[in-house]
Copies of this chain bind each other. A is one copy, B any other.
Amino acid sequence: MTRKKEGLRERRRRETRQEIRAAALRLAGEHGFDKVTVEMITTEADVSHRTFFNYFSTKEAAVVQAPPKLPDEEVDAFAALGPAHPREILADLTALLLRDIAEQPPRRDEFHATFALAREHPPVLAAMLAGFGAFERYLAGIVATRTGQRAEDEAPRLIAALAMTALKTGMESWVAEDPKDENDSPMPYVERVMTLLRTLLGH
């Protein structure tokens, strides 16, 4: 129940990871992603070439957000609701996602930097979309668990895809907007897209 005491090792690892990320984003912002070499990043972050690839499997991975891991309790609770009308499942799923966003609000500056890079550099975009894709399949698996279907079945895949569409579109609008205040959140944007989605297709 309580978060396991984070050992020194884990903390260092998290810090190092964040330092590499920050260095990569800073340098990419200055010189452009393709002008930045891994060596420059490792120098800036003060780690070895080899350590960089211990944390990130590619250069792109260092500048894109890893898809969030949803808390197990939430996922279990969702799955326990059991079969229902697809519309209701989709609503529950998006609600779950929104709750997660509310609890772990993404950093706007990092997201903005990542999206800006993705717009200009296809490899970064590819890495980002791959992350979204992996997360979408993960969601499809969760939905399938709830409905007792297989993750490869059409309905779970479609529901997950719709939830991801709302999430992606909303996030995109969020980062495109000028920051209103300091502690703004993508939540209202995603919620608005969900509404738009309903009025678009819904009755």
Residues on A close to B: CB < 8 A? 86-87, 90, 122, 125-127, 129-130, 132-133, 152, 154-155, 157-159, 161-162, 165, 168-169, 172-173, 176, 192-193, 196-203
Q: Which B residues lie within 8 Å of A176 (CB)?
A: 152
Which of B152, B158, B192, B196 is within 8 Å of A197, CB to CB? B158
Known: A176-B152, A201-B201, A203-B202. A158 touches B196 (CB 8 A): yes
Which of B132, B158, B172, B199 is within 8 Å of A169, CB to CB? B158
Q: Which B residues lie within 8 Å of A162 (CB)?
A: 162, 165, 197, 200-201
Known: A193-B154, A196-B155, A196-B158. A87 touches B201 (CB 8 A): yes
A157 and B172 within 8 A (CB) = yes
A119 nearest in chain B by CB position? B137
Known: A126-B127, A197-B201. A158 touches B165 (CB 8 A): yes
A165 nearest in chain B by CB position? B161
Q: How far is the CB of A172 from chain B (nearest CB, A)?
A: 7
